[in-house]
Chains A and B, each alone.
Chain A
Amino acid sequence: MKPQRFDATILTLCFAFLYIPIIILVVYSFNASRLVTVWGGFSLHWYQVMWSNEGLMDAAWVTARVGVLSATFGTILGTLAALTLTRFPRFPGRVAFTGMVYAPLVMPEVITGLSMLLLFVAMNIDRGFWTVTIAHTTFTMCYVAIVVQSRLITFDRSLEEAAQDLGCPPVKTFFAITLPLILPAIVSGWMLAFTLSLDDLVIASFTTGPGATTLPIKIYSQVRLGVTPEINAICTILIGLVTFGVIITSITTKRAEMRRIRDEHVAIRGIS
C-alpha cells in the first residue's frame, strides 16, 4: 500500500472511532422511541421532557455559574502563575511552585477531590456552591497557567524593554504592551477552564453540598439508572454549544491568519 493511502486509511479509521459514538448519541436524542436500538422517527419529545425537568435545569444553571466564576478566577490566578513561571527565574520554593502547577494536570481526580473535601471539612466550611467553585478554580488555574506560559515563552521581551526605554514604567508596560499581546492565550485559557469546569464530575461530587448539584453529577446519577433519550438531549445541547464555540474560535483565528497573509502581501508590495 502506498504510504499516503495507508495514512488516509489510518486517519479515517481513527476519526471514525472518535466521532461515531458522538454522532450516534446526537442522532438518538431525536428518536421518538425510548429504546436505543429502535428508530421510532424524528421527534423533539425528549427536548421537551428535558426542558420540563426542573432538577436538570437547576443543575445546568448551577454548572453555568460555577463555570463562569471558576474559569474567571482560574484565569486570573493561572495568568499570575504563568508570569511567575516565566518571569521569576529565582525565588525560594520555585521548584515546589512548579510542582504544584504541573501536578494537578495528571493527578487522579479522586485524590484531588478527596483532599479538597477534607480541607473544607477541616476548615469547617459548609460545602456547596462556593466550595465547588474554589475546587474548580484550583485545578483549572493550572491548565490556564500552561496555556499562558507557552505564549509568554515565545513573547519577545524586547517589546517590554522598548516600552520602558521610551519612558513607560513597568506596571503600565504590562497593561499597555504585554497584556494586549497575550490576550488571545488568556482567552483560550478561559475557554479551556470553562469547559473543564463544565465537564467535571469527580471533583464536584466530592466538594459539593446540598443545593449545589452540578449537571455532570445529575447526568451521572441518571446514567447509573440507564440510558434515556432525555440525557441524549442534554448531551446534544452541550455538544452543540461546545462545537459552536470551537468553530467560532477557529473562524476567528482563520480570519486573523488571512489578515496576516494579506498584510505580508502588502508589505512585499511596499518594498517594490
Chain B
Amino acid sequence: MAETGATAHTNPLRWLVVAIPYLWLFLFFAAPFFIIFKISLSDTAIAMPPYTPTFEGFGAIGDFFSQLDFENYGFLGEDPLYIDAYLSSLRIALISTLLLLLVGYPMALAMARAQASIRPTLMMMVILPFWTSFLIRVYAWIGILKPEGLLTLLFQTIGLMGPDDQVTIFRTDYAVFIGIVYSYLPFMVLPLYAALEKMDGTLLEAASDLGCPPWKAFWKITFPLSLPGVIAGALICFIPITGEFVIPDLLGGAETLMIGKTLWTEFFGNRDWPLASAVAVLLLLALVVPIVIFQNQQQKVG
C-alpha cells in the first residue's frame, strides 16, 4: 500500500506502535540468541550460574573474551553421540514429514471436496484436538501403546495375538512416529486444505472437458497448484519436529536419539549449560535454511 492519510500527517507517537513490540521481541527473543552463543563458548563451573566466565563489567572485557573458546563445539564433534543425535533428529523429522504428507494430503483433499456446508464443521474438527494440550494428546497414546495397554488388549480380543503376546512398539521409534503424526496432523492439514479449498473447481472441469482423465488431472492441475500448501505444511512440521522433546521423551526408547532430548538432558540432567547452548546453536544453524524459506513464504502470503 502506498502512503496514505495515516502516514501523510505523521504523529511521532505513532512510532510507539512499532517500537513497543520491536523492543520486546528484540529483548526477549533476539538478544537471548547472542547470550546462547556466548555461553556456548564458556566452560562449565559448579556454581550459579553454572558457567564461567560470567560477565563482570567492561574492565574485564579482554579477560572475558580470552576465556571463551570453541572447546564445547570440539567436544560435540568428537562425541559420536551428538552427531548421531543430529542425524537421527533430521531423519525422524524427514520421515515424519513424509508420513504427515501421506496422511494429511488425502484428508485435506477430502475436506476440500466435501460439500461447502459441512466444510467449516470438518475444519473445526481438525482444529479441536489442537486446542487440547499437546502433552495430554501424547499422554493418551501411552495408555494405548504400552505392552499391557489397550492395543495389546484389542489384538488379543480379536485374536490377532495370543494371550501372552504383547505389542512391543512402545518406547521405539515407531511409537515416536505415531505420536508425531498424531500431534502435528492439524498443522499439516490446515495449510494443505487452505491451498486446495481456494482452488477453482472449474479448472478440473476444464481439464476434463479437454479430455484429461481425473487421475491425470490431479497430477497436472490439483497437485501443482497445491504446492505452496505442501511446502508451508512441510516446513511448519519439519522445523519444530527436528527439535521435538516431549514425544521422543515420553514415547521413544533409550535408543531414540533426538537432539531436543539431548539438549534437555545436558541441561537438566548433567547441568552442563555451555554444552546445552552449543547443542542449541548447532540445532539453530541446521534449521536456519528451512526457517528462512518459511519466513519468505509467509511474507509472500502476507
Contact = CB atoms under 8 A, between A and B. Distances in A.
Given A201-B134, A238-B133, A110 B302 contact: no
Contact of B135 (A87, A141, A201, A227): A201
Interface stretch (A8-16, A47-55, A263-271): A8-16
Given A80-B20, A116-B32, A108 B283 contact: yes
A115 B149 CA distance: 38
A242 B132 contact: yes
Interface string A80-100: 110111011101010011111
Interface string B238-276: 011011111000100000000010011001100001001
Contact of A14 (B103, B127, B239): B103
B139 A138 contact: no
Nearest to B125: A15
B140 A21 contact: yes
Contacts of B273: 118
Contacts of A227: 139, 142-143, 146
Interface in A141-189: 141, 145, 149, 153, 157, 160-161, 164, 170-171
Task: Determine the interface band of chain B, counting residues with CB < 8 A from chain A.
Answer: 35 or more
Contact of B22 (A93, A137, A149): A93
Q: Main SS of chain B's interface residues? A: helix
A115 B35 contact: yes
B61 interface: no
Interface residues of A, number: 90
A145 B235 CA distance: 19
B22 to A, nearest CB: 6
B58 interface: no
Interface in A183-201: 195, 198-199, 201
Contact of A216 (B20, B135, B302): B135
Contacts of A171: 11
A22 B4 CA distance: 51
Contacts of B268: 205
B143 A36 contact: yes
B17 A115 contact: no
A18 interface: yes
Nearest to A26: B140
A53 B40 CA distance: 40
Contact of B140 (A25, A99, A106, A238): A25
> Which of B131, B245, B291 has most chain A Cβ within 10 Å?
B131
B143 A118 contact: no
A225 B18 CA distance: 47
Given A28-B143, A109-B240, A110-B280, A235 B298 contact: no
Contacts of B142: 223, 227
A219 B55 CA distance: 37
B17 A85 contact: no
A202 interface: yes
A114 B277 contact: yes
A119 interface: yes
Contact of A102 (B4, B185, B287, B294): B294
A108 B126 CA distance: 23
A22 B267 CA distance: 32
A219 B260 CA distance: 19
17 contacts: A91-B15, A96-B30, A102-B299, A107-B243, A108-B240, A109-B240, A110-B260, A119-B27, A135-B28, A149-B302, A157-B1, A201-B134, A202-B245, A219-B139, A227-B143, A235-B136, A242-B132
Q: Which 5 A-B pairs have the closest CB atoms?
A: A108-B243, A115-B32, A7-B110, A81-B21, A21-B140
Given A80-B21, A110-B264, 6 more contacts: A7-B113, A80-B17, A104-B29, A106-B239, A157-B1, A227-B143
Interface of B: 1, 4-6, 9, 11, 14-15, 17-18, 20-22, 24-33, 35-36, 39, 49, 55, 103, 106-107, 109-111, 113-114, 122, 124-129, 131-137, 139-144, 146, 148-150, 152-153, 182, 185, 214, 235-236, 239-240, 242-246, 250, 260, 263-264, 267-268, 273, 276-277, 280, 283-284, 287, 290-291, 294-295, 298-299, 302
